[in-house]
Each structure stands twice: as structure tokens, then as C-alpha cells.
Structure 1
Amino acid sequence: MMNAPTRYREPSDRITALLEQHAPRAIPIRTIARELGIDRKTVAKYLELLAASGDVSLERFGQKKLYRRAHRLPLPEVLHRLPNALVILDGDLQVSMVNASFVATLGIHPPRNLVGARLLDLDLPVFSEPAVRRNIERIHGAETYLDEMQLIDDGTDRVYLLEFAPIVTPPARPGVMVSLRDITATRKAEAALKNAEQKMATLFETAPCGIVIFTASGTVLNANPTALRALGLRTFEQLRPASIFALVGPPETLEELIAKGRAAEIELAIDFYCMRREQVPCAKPGGASFDAVFTPIRRDGGGGPGEFAILFRDITEDRYTRRDLASQEIRS
């Protein structure tokens, strides 16, 4: 006489085998009952059990219920496919599981069977660090702990991001899951970007030419010290209320360049009286002429430029000098 588990497995195995035969197509209860020679109520009961266990998936099509074989990926295989290194400890801080990335990230060669060993007794990179060990012990003791930390491995100069989480399985003591990710490349990229930004900021502040950055609508976003001196201003706040179109002329030239979105060499004129009418407290009289380079500032993601810059040099004195020389030559 078959016991209960055997009675359950025999029909359920036949049902799952039939669903495999029909895969990937989902089929209704009546098809299963007809092909297996089992009444529909019995099939429905077993399908309900198989769906609850995750072996069968149910799909609804109007009033119909259609079933297909569910292919579940075993949890250990899922964990082995994760890019992050992962170690799971039981309530005694013994290793229950490590994934393939854990072995590769920590450079464990040849691969050792760590399962069953107490993690804190193993001389593993990163996990031998006192801060990491203390945090694991805090979780084990149900104390306040850090859910993540960054660590630089002195031996390799690698930078790691560690994430910690308790695994509660009453009535046992809490286990611990630690995720480990090598973020060295990310940190180096961030450092390189910060260094580049600092260099650009230094260049902007110390450039011998004036630099003004603005939007297509004319809003002035920034100006370097050389530009402020050329405009007779002390601080950028004095320039902020003005539109770039009110500062430089002819404005039509600037509007055309913005529309084209291409770099160009141009000559600009600035009327300091006009600046004062625009509530810009310019300390210079008259006006000035400038040789300038107009350039769009491209976005990282592509598309049209959102900002523009003018790099300029005051040529007013050169203009006066040339005019005086020309006058002298005419008189002579």
C-alpha cells in the first residue's frame, strides 16, 4: 500500500511530465485530465498543490485557467550568479554558504571548502580587519551595527564596499549575511573626475582671458575674475541680474551663434553706460572692444548644447593705439 507522499508524487509527477511535453504552451485542466485519464477535480487539486509549491504556474485567459511547468532556479545557483561577493553565516558564525564571486574577489587560491568553518577563525582578506569583525559580532550579539562600510585593504590598496544584514531564523541566534563589492575602479574614476574638476576650476579662476558662461535665454551663470575686472565689477553677484544680450553687442550676433550652436571667433563691444541702466554697478566709463571666442558647452548625454561660453580679451587699448598711429601717419 502506498503511503501519502507516494500517492501525492505519482499523480503530480505525471502532471508535471505532461506539462513539460506541452511546453512552452500552457494547457487547461480538461486537457490534462483527458490525456492522463484522471478526473478534473483530482487534477485541479494536484495543480493547486503544485502551484503552491512553485512547480506549476497559473495563467488566466478570460475565464480559463491555463497551466505550464514552472522552472525554478535553485537559490544556491542564483547566489552564485550574483556579481557581489556573498557569505552567509549561521548562528554560530560558521560559514553556511559562499558564492563564486566571494572566492574570486578575495583571491582564495586554490579554492577552499569554507563551509562549516568559523569565519572569524579564517585568515581571509578584508574579514581579518578588526572593524569588520566587530561589526559581525555586533549583529551576532543583537547589538547596534553598521549596515555598510567602506574598507581599504592595506595589502592590495583595493577599496571594498561591505553591506551587512542579520538573518533571523527563530529560535536560533541570528545569522549574518555579508555582501562585498570591489569599488576600486569606481573610486579611482571619482578621484580622477574630482581632480579634473579641480583643474578646470583653477583654469577658470586664473585664466588671463575673461570667461562668461550663460544659457540660451541669456541668463549669466558664471564669470571668472578676469571677466569681472574687464567689466569693472568686483563680484559675480553684481553681474547676476544682467542678461548677456544686454551686456555685449550686437546682440543679434550672439543670438545667431546660439541658434547655430557652433564655435566661432567674433568681436564684441560693451557699453558700460548700458550696463548701469541694467542695474549692473559697473565702475568703468564709456565702452570697450573685445576679441572673443564663442563656444557651446555640450551635454554629456548628447543633444543640443544647454549652456554657452564667451572667452574674451580686451582690445580697446590696442584699438586706440592703432588709431593714433594711423592719425600720425596721415598728418605726416
Structure 2
Amino acid sequence: MKPFPMGEERRELVAIRELLKKNPRGMSVTQIAEAIGMNRITVARYLDVMRASGQVEMEPYGQAKVFFISRRIPVTAILDFFSDGVAALDREGRIIDTNRKFREVAGCRDTDLSGTHVAGLLSPLDDGGRLVDAIRRAGDGAEDYFESALSVHGENRRFFRVRFVPTVFTDSSPGSILILQDITEWKRGEEQMVAQRDLAWTLSAAQTLFEAMPPCVDTALRLSGMDAGGAYVADPETGVFELVHATGISQRFARSFSHISPSSPLGERICSGTPYYAENLKIGDEESMGGAFALRSYAVVPVYEGGQVIACFLVGSHIRDRIDPGSRKALETVAASIGNMIQRIRAQQDLRESEEKYRILFNNLDDAIFLHLIENGLPGRIIEVNDTTCTRLGYTREELLALTPLQINDPAYPGDLGEIMRRLLEEKHVFFEWAHLTKDGTRIPVEINAHLFTLRGEEVVISIVRDLRLRGGT
């Protein structure tokens, strides 16, 4: 299927497409050849390209093949609804077309990016030349997949899974599809889980709140990306908040705000129990304290225990005008982890829901996917499969988990499995064709994209298996 407009097309393709539009009942190869003055062999070749790209459809009528203009929904219309950024690139890495999400990621929502080199547009994604190398490899027909970071709209780094998929466009020119999957929330959740674990170990040895606050401030600053802050603890008798630990603040700030009265404007904000965020402050602003101390943004985040505010974080930044939602969440998570364990339970619940979403995606892919071990240099026991694998091969999941790939391979297939395994072990990735047998013995030609990685100390292979019958394989 043609994923993106390709700019100028061969006149012959345009002529065939326009002819079929005028003849909605369809035309044979001979009729098309006569109508546009072209030999049948050339017409047939163009029709093959147009079928592969989804522009035309074919139905057999006796010995003849009748071709119609495709009634499929344009992929470009669908791609604008994707949550991932998608761009079509030519062989040199110049942009042919993009979906809406990709333009948002690049900060060019209303700009036509056609002709722009993606390495220049998304240079922050490039990690040690990885992006340029991936473009080159995709131009040579090799798929690539990695994770990288990108600054978006002045926020902290956002994390992306970057994937290059080689393709051939409707004019037979090679290129690639670039897919950017935003995994920032997943990464931040992962970082927060690790940070909370480390913080829990530290807090387990703390005897007082005064001992607990310093590592909490350090964790809050690290997760939120802020560069200055302090921890205040309320005096049980007076209710005055005393500064017990500070990082990155000036001596003037420490003197001016060593104590915060609960009756002061700032103290009232703390005692309200609601986090407060001040942004876009200018030098000299008297927003309680922000601009007066060269802070461009700051946050006041209360800490609860037993239904009372017993402490707070006061953190700020000398360089950031905004406190993005991810940073706010990080600050509030650290604050709540001291007062109670509810947020931790919710985080675990969110993680389970996220895993369930990935499980649903895994099981609803059109390609069969299975993971297996390696034993004595050969494919070993299967340890996971998706629903497509079970449906295609006619086995239950339990049956497949008791097998190895060797037991579903067609033994008559003439491929060199030993050479394939050697390449996989050396290069960590191999792409090849094979044939599988279903439970009832039906032979299925397949295309296998296998990657080797380490899981819990063991070498594991993940194989993405495409049914070649869907595109005319034998």
C-alpha cells in the first residue's frame, strides 16, 4: 500500500490511474494497453506496482484479469490519527511526507517539511551518529531500532523509540518509513519506580523526618529537572516551617527563608495542602520570592502525614520558565511517598495497566511473534507467543510453549539453518525466509525478522513472522 504521496510520478502510472477512474467497471490489461498506446508487458508491470501499493485492485473473470481503481481509504488520512510520529523518507533521508504527530514532535505543526533532511530537523535524536547511520542502513534495505531523546517545546528531554523500516515507493524508488514512538511517560515511570525504590532503602534507615528530607530533596530535584530546592519541617508546637536541608540556593535565600510562618502568604499556601506552581517569573518580580532570587519558576509541594501538613518541598529553577506536567508529577510523587504509601500502590496499578496495554497490542498484531531460547547453538524452547501465532499455526499457547521452532519448521525447506543461526549469534539480528507447518500439516511460507537479546541472564530470540501468503509468497 502506498503510504505517502510521492511527488512527481511517472506519466504512465498517472495515465493508468486516470483511465481506471473513468472506467469504474474495470478493464483488462489488453484494454488498458490499447487505450493508452503501451505494450501489454509494460502495462502489466505497472499494474503490479500499483497493486502492491494499494492503488488498484484485481478480480479474475475466467481467463482474464480485470483491474479497478482501489476503494481503500488513503493511508495518509489514517496516519494522522496515529499517536506515533511517522515520516516517509527518500534514500538520502529527505522527508517526502509526514503525519500530524511527527510535525508536532518536530515543532513544525503547520509547516510542509517536504525536502527537509530528517537528520537536520531532528538532530537532537542523533546519538553518536546513530540517526545518520540508521538512514544509510535503511537506504540499503536494513531495518533499525533504537531509543533516543529529543527536547520538545522547551520541556525536559522526551524519550522516543526510533524505528526505520525500509520500503519501496510506488515509483519503484527505495526509501524508508521513520516511526517515533513517544515513551516519555513510560521512561519517567520507570525512573520514578527506581528512584522510589532507592529512596525507600534510604528512608528505612532514617530515624527522624530531618534525616529523611535530604535524600527526598535530591530525588525530587533529579526527577523533576529543577536545579535548586529545600526541605522544610514544621515545628510541632509553633507550626513554623524550618529549613532543614537545601541544595543550589543562595545564602541570601537561606537567610530570608530559613523559617516560614504558617500565617505568612507562603505559609498559608503550604498549609492549604495544595501544590502551588509559579512560572514565567522575571528578575525583580515579588511573587513571594521567585523573581527576587533569580528563580524563573518554583514549586511548593506539601507533605502529609496523618491528615496534616508536616513538611514541604520548595524547589525552583534558575533556567526553566515552565514546570511541565512530568516534573510536577515527579515532585508530587516524591512528596506523597513520604506521607503515605497510597501513591506507590497507584503507581504499581498504573504499571500493571500499562503492561496490559502492551499485552493487548502484542496480541493484536497481524504478524506472529514468538520468543525462544537458544540451546546448543540451535533454536530452543519457545517461552512466549502472541495470539496470532496460535491462530495461524492451530496450536494452543500451552502446546506451543512445549515446542521449539524446529518442531514447527518445514523440514523440507531448503534453507541453511546453521548459517542463519551463525549470523544471528554474531550479528544479533537476521532476516530470512522459511516455511512453517501448522498443526494439521499446512505449509505456510514466512518471512522472519529475528533479534537476539539478553533476558534475565539468558540469550533470547524474538522473531516477528510475516505470512508471505498475504502478499503472494509461495
Normalised by the size of structure 2, how large is the TM-score?
Answer: 0.28
- RCO greater where, 1 or 2, for CA within 8 Å and sep 6 or more? 1
Q: Using structure 1 for the length normalisation, give the TM-score.
A: 0.38
